[in-house]
Amino acid sequence: MNIFSVLTLVGGLAMFLFGMNTMGDGLVKVSGGRLDSILEKLTSNRLKAVLLGTAVTAVIQSSSATTVMVIGFVNSGIMNLTQAVGVIMGANIGTTVTSWLLSLTGISGSGILISMLKPSSFSPILAVIGIVLTMTAKGNERKKDIGTILLEFAVLMFGMTTMSDAVEPLADNERFTSILTMFSNPFLGVLAGALLTAVIQSSSASIGILQALCATGAIPYSVALPIIMGQNIGTCVTALISAVGAGRNAKRASMMHLYFNLIGTIVFMVAFYSLNAAIGFAFLDHAANAAGIAVVHSLFNIGCCVAWFPFANLLVKLAVMTVPDRGESEPELGTTSRELAVLDDRFLEKPAFAVKICRDTTVRMAERDRDALSLSVELLVEYSAEKAEQVEHMERQAARYDEALSGYLMKISGKSLSVEDSRQVSVMLQCIRDFERIADNVSAVRRSALELHERGIRISDTGMRELMVYASAAQDIFDHTIQAFRYTDLIMAKSIEAYEKATDSMSVELRQRHVDRLRHGQCSMEAGLVLEDIITAFEHVLDHCSYVGACMIRVCGEEEPDGQEGISAKDSPEFREDYHMMKEKYALPERQAFPVQELPPGEETVSDHKKKKHGSEKGKKKNNPSRKENKKKEIRETIKKRHWKKK
């Protein structure tokens, strides 16, 4: 084996590892977080957890990635240890799918069907299809991603074939054979497999390398078997590293993964070599091949899962004993802290899933604001110190949500995202600020309610009834906005602007009606000032709802809005329909009629007096040219003074 063969081997290994990593990332990207989110919805059914763990790992091609996600779920409280153990078992089974795919390199035969199953035959076809899909995508992100996955799979299989071809000359190399003989010692074989997997952080990749080396025909099963066992132990290193700095339960989840593989390996090795000493397995001296490696790998992982399944609770207890409470309990987390704990950096390795988590958390933030808005309206009707404290607490929570989500989304934005996920991140970065501003204005309503209570100010019954109609409209529009954001419903988003415009005239009417009541002594000036603050706060809530809708249309819609003044054309039938629907649904009560005061005979109203006065002065002005000249001179002097003042 010369230097060129070594370079070919290294190049094949590089392509293999590149294809392995990028293909898994591409599969996760195409799934859009949907496959990973299945793990969130686990029940206490352990069999279901095993099946889901198997399915997710088979798709993302990495048991380490699945286990790291499980640790993140446990750390954030989404999943308990009982659920986690089932997923970990399933992840070990799911990773065997890769070894079966890679075993195709060992296929031999001359038939057409057999030849087409060889990677050297179908890899170029997949590469051609992939490059065609990628180059003709033209904005179709999903089509482009599928093409990229096909290219990456072709690179993976080409790298595997290149490695196998490069190591074939080693079959007659006595030095290589002597090194392999050393690993026939079970302990050294396990150690070698564990170290290799720990270094490259992927049991699937290390199995692939072993399958490539089997092409030499110089690796017997007596050498391959302990290496496979060690690879299952080495894959636990990724999970152990991920648990560093995490909570106690997250550390326990990583220990469950280690114990599952470590104890399984020890029991298997003791039982197998005991039987071998008694019976003697003849196949151990036979040369291993890629398919044989896949069989051994699958039998071991499936066997471990079946053996451990009835004793899963024992595995949980063992992990708890390893990471004890030490007489202290973990600090109790509030609801907000538990919900924000899900923004775990471990999920950043699967950006599509991290985006979904952020979206769900943002919806919870908006729902908190909606609940706070409802409580603040209740405070206006009947003040309660307890409810006021709840509203104030929710406002502080909104600030925490804003800070945590903004930071996490900035981290996500630095990852490789699909076009859709990139749009979602842009929308959320804008909308969480609007939701936080809504919380600020809800708090302003709370302060106004407190002022009414402490100062004993009373808004008239008529004014309060009218205000409640406006408040109901604000609550309805805010809830409509949340639903539009939750489902990325652009039709609902477009209607937000029409609803908000319909309430503009309502706020003007509320102010005018209060002025009328003030003139006729039906309401006080102090109540009017507080009422103005409340109306302004509701207006700002509705403005931010409109901003959310505008952002969704601008980022996710196909058509660009014509500025903030209208994300939907004012003269469109849809806009007019939504506008009039909102006007009818939240029509203010009939305007209060005030009696017209009659003046005694001979007296005139102020307006009549002004008309006469202005009329007479107007006549004088027309007949007095010098007065006009004096006025023009006065204006010129004023302009001159202002000019010099600016200088």
**Distance, CA of 451 to CA of 439 (rounded, Å):** 19
Report the residue count for the chain. 647
- Mean pLDDT for the stretch of residues 621-626: 50
pLDDT at 172: 66
Q: Is the pLDDT of residue 333 over 50?
A: no
CB atoms within 10 A of CB 599: 9
Among 184-198, 212-226, 421-435, 601-615, the minimum mean pLDDT is found in 601-615
How far is Cα 243 from Cα 629, in angstroms, rounded to an integer?
88
Higher pLDDT, 27 or 647: 27
Which range scores top for mean pLDDT: 239-253, 453-467, 551-565, 607-621?
453-467
DSSP state for residue 287 in the 8-state scheme: B
pLDDT band for 635, please (50, 70, 90 cuts): very low
580-591 per-position pLDDT tens digit: 888 888 888 777
Residues 254-279 pLDDT 10s: 999 999 999 999 999 999 999 988 88
pLDDT tens for 150-159 read 888 888 888 8
- The angle, 0 to 180 degrees and rounded to 10, between the axes of the packed helices 186-200 and 203-213 is 120
Which residues share a beta bridge with 287? 220
Q: Which pLDDT does position 402 carry in this prediction? A: 93
CA distance 74 to 252: 9
pLDDT tens digits for 167-179? 777 666 667 667 7
- C-alpha 615/C-alpha 29 separation (Å) is 78
Average pLDDT across the chain, whole number: 80
Indicate whether 243 pLDDT > 70: yes
Residues 6 or more apart whose CB falls under 8 angstroms from that of 346 comprise 68, 69, 71, 72, 75, 242
Q: Which of 83-87, 131-135, 215-219 has the lowest mean pLDDT?
A: 215-219
The pTM assigned to this predicted structure is 0.74
Tell me how far apart the alpha carbons of residues 591 and 465 are, in angstroms, rounded to a whole number: 11
For the chain, give the percent of residues with pLDDT over 70.
80
pLDDT band at 336 (very low <50, low <70, confident <90, very high): low
Strand segments (E) across 6-78: none
What integer pLDDT is reported at residue 109 of this predicted model? 57
What are the pLDDT digits (tens) for 459-503? 888 888 999 999 999 999 999 999 999 988 989 998 998 898 888
Backbone angles phi, psi at 339, to 5 degrees: -70, -35
Average pLDDT over residues 196-213: 83
Quote the pLDDT of residue 603.
Answer: 43
pLDDT category of residue 250 using cuts at 50, 70 and 90: confident
Q: 371-428 pLDDT, tens per residue?
A: 999 999 999 999 999 999 999 999 999 999 999 999 999 999 888 787 888 899 999 9
pLDDT band at 551 (very low <50, low <70, confident <90, very high): very high
Looking at residue 403, its pLDDT comes to: 93
Segment 323-348 shows an average pLDDT of 69
Supply 562's token pair. Answer: 């014509």
Contact assessment for residue 376 and residue 467, using Cβ atoms and an 8 Å cutoff: no
